[in-house]
Amino acid sequence: MLFDQGIDIPEALSGDALNIALEPEKARFNVRVKSKDVAAFKKASGFKFPVKIGATAKTGTQLISKFGPDEWVISDDAKSREKIAKKLSKLAGQFVMSATDISHRNIAFNVSGRLANEAVNIGCPLDLSLKSFPVGKATRTIFENAPIQLYRSGEDTFQIECWRSFAPYMVDFWTAFSRDIA
């Protein structure tokens, strides 16, 4: 089931130097698996769980990010939600694990353009240089007061996920930023 995301992106956030767009609705699952079971879980599930914290694995529309020693987030096309849920439910009978559908909790923004780094860094304290935060890296961090998940999908492209309640705040912040750089 798809839901209206209820967020409008002002025209001021659409340009050549900086483009901030709402990502389509996605299926999202937070998965926890005991460390000793990860290899068997990967084999049984077919999911390509990355090993290193901050690493990601992308296959088609599916992105799996590792955020903790035993924690991954699976993100995929919204139409994949039921299929992933069924697969995880079946695996729950075989492994000590948890899988929580967080599809409706978050909303995602695509931030791109030559000013994307600045638009993210204005509210995020991380070093976003390519050396420190290369393409393919993901982490949990903050944007001002909003907890976010940050994924770098290209040199000048980021995906930022936040709780839906923080989305208007993020849009207002970027709107003010775009006025300041104009």
Q: Domains in the chain, start-ordered, CATH in brackets?
A: 13-181 (3.30.1360.120)
Give per-residue pLDDT as tens, 89-127. Answer: 999 999 999 999 999 999 999 999 999 999 999 999 999
CA distances 131 to 127, 134, 135, 155, Å, are 9, 6, 9, 11
Give residue-wise pLDDT tens across range 16-63: 899 999 999 999 999 999 989 999 999 999 999 999 999 999 999 999
Average pLDDT for residues 135-148, to the nearest whole number? 97
Maximum distance among all Cα pairs of the chain, rounded to whole angstroms: 56
